[in-house]
Structure 1
Amino acid sequence: MTSSTGRGFTHPRADANAVLACAATLALCACTTTSAVVPAASPMLPGAASPSVTEAVPEIRPGVLAGYLGRDLPDSLKLLPAPPKEGSAAFRNDQAVSRASQKLRGTARDVLAASDAELGFPHVAGAFSCALGVPVSQDQSPRLYRLLRRTLTDAGLATYAAKDHYRRTRPFVFYKEGTCAPKDEAALRNDGSFPSGHTSIGWTWALVLTQVAPDRTDALLARGRAFGESRLVCNAHWQSDVLAGRTIASATFARLQSDTAFQADVAAAAREVQSLRAGGDAPSSDCAAEAAALAMPIEGVQ
């Protein structure tokens, strides 16, 4: 995950601790706040309560909203085994999948992987729009948009205990190659590969969105899996990083279930999706092109 304004984030250990302290003790921190303003024309189902226009969520750094969990994040260092050691059978499998995934560079799957690499909003808000079947934007679905922004923070930060401990070398560094996002490479070189933060975010979103739209579960989970596997095509992660990222996502999702603010936002997001469906609103993305790209398999992926 990268650290430019309005994009994703990379946190060294000290920075991550400062971020979480800020989120947990807002009264003592000079955090920037941003209001979740719902446009007057935002479609709501009849009888559904409109979200307040004065609700505010703090930014823990420019463009990154505080998550729901604060300090109550899963401990990735406790939840995960150590990454495969070089020379082990598991590492040889990582290498085989890495080399197979690079055969897709320059294809439509590579284009999608490059799009998935960009964690900045509003761009990334549309990553699941085809799977969800409706457009996702701050104007049309403000509570869903905020739900994605806040859970990105929880899912991303939850990976850093293990990332910072193991500081695993990424495949593009190991092989002295490039990635699908050259502008991110300098930051990625100093950001541990294990577990994959993008995968944790994408799989958390997939799980959360199955609560928002249960009838789209298969499509959402398939897209969530592909979002993580895009990191293989990008040459940014090993397969074991991706699998570990799903574990941390599942742990993050489990923690979120007891958070009342999260549950309220899920319910509000579900109403927004139903209203968009009722109004016939369709994704603005090229869903046929996305489906064609996702149909291109990566040899050896588990």
Structure 2
Amino acid sequence: MTKILVTGAGGQLGTALLRRGEALGCDIVGFGSGELDITDRAAVEAVVRPGTVLLNCAAYTAVDAAETDESAATRVNVDGARTLAEATARAGARLVHVSTDYVFGGDATVPYEPDAPTGPRTAYGRTKLAGERAVLAADPTAVVVRTAWVYTGVGSDFVATMLRLQREREFVDVVSDQVGSPTFAGDLAAGLLELAGRDVPGGVLHATNAGEASWFDLARAVFGAVGADPARVRPCGTADFPRPAPRPAYSVLSPAAWSAAGLTPLRPWREALGAALAEVPAACD
């Protein structure tokens, strides 16, 4: 059985990978940031062995904070990613590196293919794109998987926030002019584990739940799913919620290359949302 290593195991995707991997009987081990410094070459080489598959979920994801501390984001998203790729290349291991829709400019009108021109508009996006390039330069057999709008419904992600706000507020204003691909971490984890077991050539793939939605659409879907009136969610514009880092207006990712690689397409986002909420104990309270 192939041994699977997960970096960034304390995050929402890393946690989902460990849970799903263990349920499937995989030989899977996770490392949080306190257990493995991915920029430490010796530490990384100590855990990467020939034949293993490394799923890198470790990332600096504080999008707004990165605008004033790009060096911190670079250390994890570029230097750390490169260190992992160098280690997998030397050991004869496989690397699956998770990236983001933020590598694009957000001004498209049709879903982005993996080879579409990039053009990040944020420090976070620049560091993630540089990380992709560093990974593929160090280990051409690596697979970069871009995803978007990942949630679990637990903690402080968007879906979890909507669950909380439907209990606390009469009305909620949510932006309707940003469109993307809502992605349940559990489904993404299943897709990454399938990829880990397949002989897929190195390069870039996209993996999100199927379809597209605005944050407003997603919020209304959350409200409706738990029996709250979706009309309590009101549309507003990005300009109403200025942020240090600009958010992409359009960041839908095409699943065509994922399917062409023989991998199972992720289900439609509304179906995935229902499954996600079924796993949240207090979703309907």
User: TM-score normalized by structure 1?
Assistant: 0.25
| Greater helix content | 1
| Greater strand content | 2
Higher RCO (CA 8 Å, separation ≥ 6 residues): 1
User: TM-score normalized by structure 2?
Assistant: 0.26
